[in-house]
Amino acid sequence: MTSNDTSVSRRSLLKAAGGAAASASVAGYVDAGATADVQQEGGTVTYARGNDSGTLDPQNTTSGEDVKVINQLYDTLIDFEPNQTSLQAGLATEYSLEGTTATLTLREGVQFHNGEEFTADDFVATYQRFTNPDSEYYPGDDYVSAYGPFTLGNWVESVSPGGAGDAGTTAAADGGATTTEGALADQGTTTEGTETAAGTETQAGGAGGDQYSLTIELSQQYAPFLRNLAMFASSVLSEQAIQEYGTDLSQNPVGTGAFAFENWDQGNQRIRLSATDDYWGEGPAVDEALFTAVSENTSRAQTLVSGGADIIDGLGAQSSQIVANSDAAELVETQGINVGYMAFNMARFEPFRERAVRQAISYAIDTEAIVNNIFQGIAVQASQPIPEQVLGYNEELDPYPHDPEQAQSLLEEAGYGDGFEFELATFQNPRTYNPSPVQAAQTVRSNLNEVGISVSVNQQPFNPFLEYTNQGQHDACFLGWMTDNADPDNFYYALLHPGISVEDVPDGQDWVSFDTEGYNTTNSAAWANTEFMELVEDAQSTLDEDRRAELYRQAGQLAHDEAPWVFIDHAQELRGVAGRVDGFQIAPISGPLLNLVSLQG
């Protein structure tokens, strides 16, 4: 990619356009006359990760690397409490979900980085751009991410400025979303929600609509909906910026966040952000945030220890020890809400359509050795799609044991006793859920070779890899997921539901092709088990927490038995933090919270 680091930065252009609300000092440390270990205002906090971003548009990505920067630039209507999974006010000061109606009171006086005031119309425009192909500003099916349907599109029937019943200009929109049939459960209030709608109706503000409140009507009860509004994919865009930039928002982000975009040197993989003056929320206490990329784990750890970075992530066992043994930095860790897995692409590779083959490979791969010997204790084996902190975790399930004899027996039962060949696609750079992907892939290749299966490993940088898997070009692939909202729906529906109705799954088949209309491309296995789909849909529309938990336990059992993935691990979140950094904690959702960080002199 060519360099995007211009001397006349995006920041300067915003100032010239009247974006004074986004200006900030970048003069370094503020001398408060204090000793070296006393907290200072100002300075630049440098965050080093394994890979550069691919886009800075929250509607254009499923990548956690992109989200790390996006979370600094944009805000959502509802937020997660710092370093918690509970909800709190964001751009909405009050919010509720009663049955199928969500109402929100918006924060007044908030400005986007381009100087425009945030109003209800901005969220309406954000929603339309993400979910409505008939909208003038819809950026195209190839541009919007898979988050659109399962975050907002499938379930929202109308979005209106003002309270229910307020007047407004109504524009009908056929978003082409898939209607999901699900059992409707008891009515009531929930703090979560998402899904259904064959057509969408959006009311614009202006003629009578209150610009500081929103009413969102759902087509059915959807338990995770308020949590979906707190996800990065629901970040509120500026209506003016949508109109001005279109898909160029990918490199010209305009949000209301604690930091504003300065420039992106793509050649050197460096993104520079500056503090937002008069930010409505807490902080920031630094002048700048600088994101850099250092691909090798140990090199990144050494960069931290030598003072070239303030915070690093993507740590493996060896690199984490470099940090832990250093006097200049601290290793911060917590159990993450994530899953790492190997997905079988049933649409592309015929042998994977046989459950016995998938189970055989699950027995053949020594996930215990991967977790203990390669990840070296920073993860635990997985037995199901969700980790134990998430509602509906099935404690009765155990990971597949390493049993080559059982694997060989199942292959013979399925008619593949002589083995076969397939490609395993993997990202090269470390991820929280797979800090050593190349070594893990080599273990998989070795394990499967023992039962007559030949594996070729296709290593790719992370951003091209995501495009490759989203298009279904893989036979099998390593992937993983770090939760967006801590709800089981964010794993079960987002990763294993095909995004189409049960009726659209061909009879006698438990997979569909990637080119199926409405297909959810984050389902990298192409799995379309109708019993599983019905369980997940039922759980979405059920507000009773105990009932939801039981439905997800059943879904976990089914996923374990049917084995659309090799369940590999749930990993700890590890960060290296320099000694001069104060206030940093690992956020299980929507981090890193660089607005809460300060630096010592």
User: What is the pLDDT at residue 26?
Assistant: 24
Phi, psi at 20, each rounded to 5°: -60, -25
Q: By C-alpha distance, which of 548, 392, 487, 596 is closest to 86?
A: 487
- CATH at 513: 3.10.105.10
What is the rounded (10 degree) CA torsion for 365, 366, 372, 373?
Answer: -80
In the chain, how many domains are there?
Answer: 2
The tens digit of pLDDT for each residue in 342-367 reads 999 999 999 999 999 999 999 999 99
Q: Let me know if residue 515 belongs to a domain.
A: yes
- Percentage of residues in the chain having pLDDT higher than 90: 80
Residue 225 belongs to what domain range? 78-241
> pLDDT band at 154, cuts 50/70/90?
confident
User: What is the pLDDT at residue 568?
Assistant: 98
Residue at which a domain ends, from 184, 210, 241: 241
Same domain, 219 and 358: no
Q: Let me know if residue 182 belongs to a domain.
A: yes
Same domain, 215 and 110: yes
Mean pLDDT across the chain: 87
* 281's tokens: 């929320």
Residue at which a domain ends, from 241, 267, 295: 241
Same domain, 508 and 377: yes
Q: Let me know if residue 305 belongs to a domain.
A: no
> pLDDT band at 209, cuts 50/70/90?
low
Give Rg (Cα) of the chain: 24
> pLDDT band at 83, cuts 50/70/90?
confident
Q: Let me know if residue 263 belongs to a domain.
A: no
- 411-444 b/e (C-beta count within 10 Å ≥ 16 → b): beebebeeeeebbbbbbbbbbbbbbbbbebbbbb
User: What is the pLDDT at residue 335?
Assistant: 87
Lowest-confidence segment of 27-31, 251-255, 460-464, 593-597 by average pLDDT = 27-31
Helix 489-496 × helix 545-562 angle, to 10°: 40
Residue at which a domain ends, from 183, 209, 241: 241
Q: Let me know if residue 299 belongs to a domain.
A: no
Same domain, 94 and 221: yes
The tens digit of pLDDT for each residue in 521-579 reads 999 999 999 999 999 999 999 999 999 999 999 999 999 999 999 999 999 999 999 99
Q: Let me know if residue 538 belongs to a domain.
A: yes
Task: Give yes or no for a contact between 575 and 586, defined as CB atoms under 8 angstroms apart.
Answer: yes
Q: By C-alpha distance, which of 139, 138, 118, 280 is closest to 205?
A: 118
Same domain, 236 and 356: no
- CATH at 84: 3.90.76.10
Distance CA 306, CA 215 (A): 52
Q: Let me know if residue 383 belongs to a domain.
A: yes
Q: Which amino acid is at 305?
A: V
Q: Let me know if residue 158 belongs to a domain.
A: yes
Same domain, 434 and 562: yes
